[in-house]
Structure 1
C-alpha cells in the first residue's frame, strides 16, 4: 500500500542518502508533497506541555536564634553551646550548610539553588543539627510549602523550630522564572558577583532545558546488528542519562533534563549517544553561546553527530534568571565626573529601571565594562574597584576588577598585582592581595575581598590600594606602580558602583 502525503511545512520526508535532493540535516527546508513508502520525518521536536515550565528556587539560609545548647562538659554539670548546621531537602535534592562553632545564634549566610516544578504538595524540609564527634544532636525542624513560595514569588520569614523547646530560623526564598531573552544577562552576572557569598557555590545566571526526542541512522553493531542506544547529557559536573532502547538505530527517548548555568558564554552542552556493550556511537558539543544569539534563546532541530553517521533531534532552550529581590536597584544616571581622579561609567539598560529591593541598604548601580564616555587615564594608569558594605553579612566588600594604562618603567611590561590594606592598621590581619598577572599593562583580576567589621568602624577606616610589580625574578623587592586611598567615610558604601580611580605616586595618594 502506498500513502500520499499532501503539502505540509511541518513534515520532512527521508530520501536515500547521497541521492539528488537528499535531505541536509542542517537545512531548514523540508521536502514537500511527495509520495513515499516510509513515515514522515519530523522537522522539530514535540515535547509535552510541561517542558520548559521549571523554576529555580534560590534558598538563603541566613541565621538562627535561641537554639538549644547540646554540648555539655564535666559529665553534664556544665552547660555549653552547640555547633549548629542546617540540612535542606526539596525535589529529591539535599543540601547542607557549613558548621558554626559554639554559637546558639549562628549566622550562615549561605545560598542554595534547586530546580523545581509546580507539582502541588511539595515542601521544603529543614532540619537543624548540632555537630558532634559521634552522633549529631537534633536542634529542631520546620517546613515551608513550595506552592506558597511559587505563588508569591518571595518569602522572607523567621520560622519557629518544631519539636524543641526553643529556636527559630531565618530563611529567604525566591522563585526565579527563566526569561527567553539575553538582554539582562550582563546585569544578572554582575548582580550575582556582588551578592555572592564566600561559603556558597557560584550563583546560576540561567536555566538550560533540553528535550531529547530521538535519533536516526545510528551505526550498526558489527555492521549488521542494531545497537541498544542511550544518551547522556552533561553540563559541567551534572549529567542526565536517558533510558536504553533495545535493538534499534532509530531510538525514541522522549526525555527532558534541566541544568543550572552559571556562565552561559563559556559553558556547553555535551551529548553522547552510546550503545549498551558497544560504546560510543556518536557525540555532539553545543556551545551555549549559540543559544544566546538564537531566537527566544532556543534551538530545535536535527544535529549531526561527530561520528559522521547518525543525527539527533533535540530542543535546547535557555532562560535567564533575573532576581527581583537581590537587594539591587538600578537607577537612571547621567554621566559626570565626581572628581578628577575618578571616572564613573553609565549603567546597563538591560532590565527594568527599578528592581524591588528587599535589602535597601545594598543598592548597586550596574555599569558597562567599557564606555566611550570614560575619562582618560592619568600618567600612572587607573585601577577599577567596587567597594560597598554588605549589611546582611556585616562585611566590607571590595572587588578588584582590573587596571589599565599602567606605566612601564623598564624594557618589559610589569607583572602587576593589587595589594589592599585597611588603614590605620598595617598588620597582616587586614591585608589582602590579588593574584599576579604576567607582563601586562592592563591586567584583569575580578577578585573579591572581605573584611568583617561593623559599619561604624568601617567608616573610620581608609582603604589603601597599591598596584605593585616584582622588581625582578630573583628579587623580593616590589616596585610600586601607583596607589590610591579611599576615605570610606566619604564613600557611598550603599551603592557598590564599579569605578576607575587614577593611580598616584607614593607622595600623592589621591582620593575619590
Structure 2
C-alpha cells in the first residue's frame, strides 16, 4: 500500500470516528430529552404534586451553582500552588489570599523546600498507595465485618501531580534553650482521587483541599543523635478543609448534608491534631514522655460574652420591623462553646461565661461567630443566617491580663459584641484556692454557667493483673470521670498488663469536694474490669499539688490484685495582672497610681503616697532652719518622678531607685525623690509655668505649691494638655493585622471644649478610610452624654490589601451630637488624619492632638 493510500485510510478513519462521536452525542441528547418529557407526562398522568418535580430541580440547580463556585475556588488555589515566585509576585496586586511571607514580615520564604517536595511527590504517591492497600485497607475491612459489610477495597489511589506548598516558615528565637518551635503555613489543593468499593457500591472523594498553619515543636533537645528527643505536630486552629464527592456519595453533596459531612471530617481532624490535641512522635527512649505527650497548659482563658448591639435583621417582618434570633459559637483550637439563643432581638444579652485551656500564647486566636437561628430538621448551620465574626488574639489577652471591650463584627453590615476575656495563670499554691472560689462565686451571680477554679492533669500510665486467670484476655481501655466530663484512652488489644501512656486535662470546679473516677473496661464485652475513686482533696495536701507514679488498687477486679498507675497534677487558677506598661517592663505600684490619676484634685494630690530615696540625705529636725514668723514651712521640692500618661513624651531624667521608705510627717506634700537631692533642685528652681507645663511632673510639682493656688495651676495644666490647637486630644491604637485588616481602637478623648453657653458636649468619634467616604467606610462610636473626657474603648476594622495600604488615609473626627432632634449639622469638635502607609508597628498606641475641621474642598 502506497503512502497516499495510507494517508487516505487514516483520514477516512478519523472522519468515521468523528461521525460516530457526533452520532453518539446526538443519541444521548435525544434520550435525555425524551426522559425529561416522559417524567413530565407521568407527573401529569398520575396527578402527582408539582412540588415533587420542583424539589429535585431546585436542589439540582443549587448543586450546580455550588459545584461551579467550588471549581473556581479550586482552580485559583491550585494555580497559586503551582506558580513560581515570580508569578506569585505578579498576582499580588489582584489576589487576596497572599502567602504568609507577604502578609507577615517575620515569615520566611521556603521555595527550596517546595522544590524538594515537588521532586519527592511521585515517590510519596507510591508510599501512600502501599500504605492504603496493605495497612489501612485490612484494618477497615476487619472493622466493617461487625456491620455485616464485606468486600471493602481501594479501587483507585491517585495523589495527582500537585504537591502541598509551604507559603512561609517561621522559627522562633525567644524560646527555651531546650526546644525549637517552628510554624509553617501550607496549602494543598491537589487533583487527588480516592475511590473505594463496598459490596458493589463505589464511592470516593476528589479535589481535596486543606490549608492552615501547622506548628512543629522539637523538644527536648538531647546530647545524642538525632539531637531531638521528640516532636509535637499540631494545628493552631482548625484547618480549612473541602472536597468533592464522587460515585454514590455524590448524592450527599447537597446543601445541608454536605456541611454535616465536612463538619464530621473537620471534627475528626481536630480530635487528632488541633490544639489542645497534639500528634506526638518520640525519637529517643530516655526522655520525659509525660512532657512530650501531655504538657502543662500555658494558662486558661475565661471568656464572658456579655451582649451584642445593632446586629443585622435577618428575619424580616411586617414593614421591615423584623429581628433576629442570635447566638454565638466560640472556637479556641478544637475547643468549641455555644451560647444560648435569644429570640426576636438585635441587641441580645447572653451573659455567657466559659473557660478554655490555652496551650500556646503566640499565633493563636479565638474565633467568635454570630448566627441567626432558623429551624432545620438536619440541625445544620447551613439553614442559619450568618451575622458576622470576630477574632481575639490570645497573646493580647495574656499580655493585658484582662480585656473588656466592644469588638465589631467583620463580614457584616453592622453589629458588635461586648466581650470580657481574662487570662488565668496556673499556680501550685493551695492557698490561692479560696481566692479563686470567691471570685467565681461573684461571677456566677451574673451568669449561670459553671465556672472552675483549677485544672487537673491525669497521666494514665499502665495497669497490671487485670485478669490473672487468663481464661478471657480483655481489650482494656480506661474511662475517666471528673464532674460531668468524661474521657477515654484508646483500647489495648488482648493484654492483661496494658500500657497506655496517654494524658488528659480536666477543668475542676472545687477540688475540695470533687473526685476522680477511674474505670478499666473491656472493649469486647463492655464489662468493668475494675474501678477506683480518688479524692482530689488529697492533692491539696501534697507538695507542689502532684502525685507521681502512684499505683491505685482497682476494686471489683477478679483476684483483687489489679492496679492502675497514674500521675496526677493539680494547678490552681490565679488571675493575671498586666505584664507590660508599654516601655518593656512591668508597672510599679507607684507609677500605676500616678498614671491612673488623669484629672487630679487637691484631695487626690493629698492622697498620693510619699516616698524618697535613701541616697538623699535628710537633715535631722534639730538642724533644720526654722521658718520665718508668719510663713508656712517650705515643703520638700520634688525631683524627677514617673510621669502620668499625659506627660509620657516629656524628657525626664530617670535614675534607678535603690531603696524607698515612707516619709512620716510629710503632711500634704506627697512627692517622690529619685536620686537627686533637694539642694541640687533648689539651685535651678523652676517658675510656676515651668512647673505646670515643663519637663517635671506637674502633679508632683503642684504638691509643693500653696493650697490656695493649686486650682489655678490645675487650670493651666488643662490648657497645656489640650493640644496644639487647644481642642483636646485623642488616644488611638492603629495597627495592621495579620488578616489583611486595619485595626483601630478608639480609647478615649481628653480636654474637649465646652459649648458657648457652658454646657458639656455629647461627643462621639466618627471614622472614614479615605478616599472612600461611602456608608460602608463609615464607623462611629457610641455617644457619651455630658462629658469633656469620654472613654470609649471601642474596636473597628477595615479590610485593606497590603498594596493598598499606602494609598489610604484614616480620617478621625470628634463630633458633638447635642440636641434632641439633630436637624442641624453636628459640629466637629476636632479632627485628625493619619497616613496608613506611615504606621509604626512599634508605636501602635499614641495620643494625637485634635485640629480644626478640614474643609471638604481641601481633601
TM-score scaled by length of structure 2: 0.31
Contact 1:174 1:325 in 2 (8 A): no
Match of 2:500 in 1: 253
Query: Which of 523, 526, 544 pairs up with 1:276?
Result: 523
Corresponding residue for 1:348? none
Conserved in 2, the CA contact under 8 Å of 1:230 and 1:276? Answer: yes
CA change 1:325–1:84 in 2 (3 A) is farther
1:128 aligns with 2:375: no
The corresponding residue for 2:565 is 313
Q: C-alpha distance in 2, partners of 1:151/1:219?
A: 52
Q: What is the deviation of 1:116?
A: 2.8
Structure with greater proportional strand content: 1
Offset at 1:55? 2.3
* 1:303 equivalent in alignment to 2:552: yes
Work out the CA distance in 1 between the residues paired with 2:493 and 2:298.
30
List per-residue Cα deviations over 1:271-304 (Å, max 9, x = no partner).
0112222422211100111111111111122222
Cα distance, 1:129 vs structure 2: 1.9
Q: Name 2:358's counterpart in structure 1.
A: 116
Return the offset for 1:133.
4.5
2:338 paired with 1:96: yes
Aligned pairs for 1:273-352 (under 5 A) are 273-278=520-525, 279-300=527-548, 301-306=550-555, 307=557, 308-324=560-576
Structure 1 counterpart SS, 2:491:
coil
CA contact under 8 A between 1:282 and 1:309: conserved in structure 2? no
Q: How many residues align?
A: 286
Which of 297, 300, 306 does residue 53 from structure 1 map onto?
A: 297
What is the rounded CA distance, in whole Å, between the counterparts of 1:73 and 1:240 in structure 2? 46
Aligned partners of 2:400 and 2:577 also within 8 Å: no
Cα shift at 1:233: 1.1
User: Do the aligned residues in 1 keep the contact of 2:515 with 2:535 (CA within 8 Å)?
Assistant: yes
Instruction: Kindly report which structure 2 residues correspond to 1:171-320, keeping only aligned pairs within 5 A, or say none.
Output: 171-197=419-445, 199-220=447-468, 223-278=470-525, 279-300=527-548, 301-306=550-555, 307=557, 308-320=560-572
Find the residue that maps to 1:322 and give its secondary structure: strand
1:325 Cα deviation after fit? 7.1
Shift of 1:145: 3.0
Alignment partner of 2:403 out of 137, 146, 155: 155
Q: 1:142 to 1:214 in 2, by over 3 A?
A: same
Contact 2:298 2:361 in 1 (8 A): no
Aligned equivalents of 1:86, 1:46: Cα separation in 2: 38
| Contact 1:118-1:150 at 8 Å conserved across structures | no
Partners in 2 of 1:78 and 1:160 — Cα distance?
24
SS, match of residue 291 in structure 1: helix
1:86 corresponds to: 328
Distance 2:566 2:432 in 1: 26
Q: Secondary structure at the match of 1:274?
A: strand
Query: How far apart in 2 are the matches of 1:203 and 1:316?
Result: 21
Q: How do residues 354-503 of structure 1 correspond to structure 2 at under 5 angstroms?
A: none
TM-score, structure 1 as length reference: 0.51
Q: Give how far 1:83 is off.
A: 2.9
8 A Cα contact 1:154 1:175, kept in partner: yes
After TM superposition, give the deviation of residue 91 of structure 1 in Å.
2.7
CA shift, 1:192, in A, is: 1.0
Kept after mapping to 2: 8 A contact 1:84/1:131: yes
SS at match of 1:48: helix
C-alpha distance 276-109 of structure 1, shift in aligned 2 (>3 A): closer
Aligned equivalents of 1:78, 1:51: Cα separation in 2 = 54
Alpha-carbon distance, 1:198 to partner:
5.2
SS of aligned partner of 2:529:
strand
* Secondary structure at the counterpart of residue 345 of structure 2: coil
Stretches of structure 1 that go unaligned for 5 or more consecutive residues are 1-44, 327-352, 358-512
Work out which of the two has the higher radius of gyration on C-alpha atoms and give 1 or 2.
2
The alpha-carbon deviation at position 228 of structure 1 amounts to 1.9
Cα distance in 1 for partners of 2:521, 2:343 equals 48
SS of corresponding position for 1:259: strand
8 Å CA contact 1:61–1:171 kept in 2: the answer is yes
The higher relative CO (CA closer than 8 Å, separation ≥ 6) is in 1
Cα distance in 1 for partners of 2:332, 2:433 equals 27
CA displacement, residues 241-266 of structure 1 (integer Å, 9 cap, x when unaligned) = 11111222221111011111112111
1:447-482: CA deviation from partner (whole Å, max 9, x where unpaired)? xxxxxxxxxxxxxxxxxxxxxxxxxxxxxxxxxxxx
Relative distance call for 1:248 and 1:133 in structure 2 (3 A) is closer
Instruction: Tell me the CA shift for residue 151 of structure 1.
Output: 4.8
Bigger helix fraction:
2
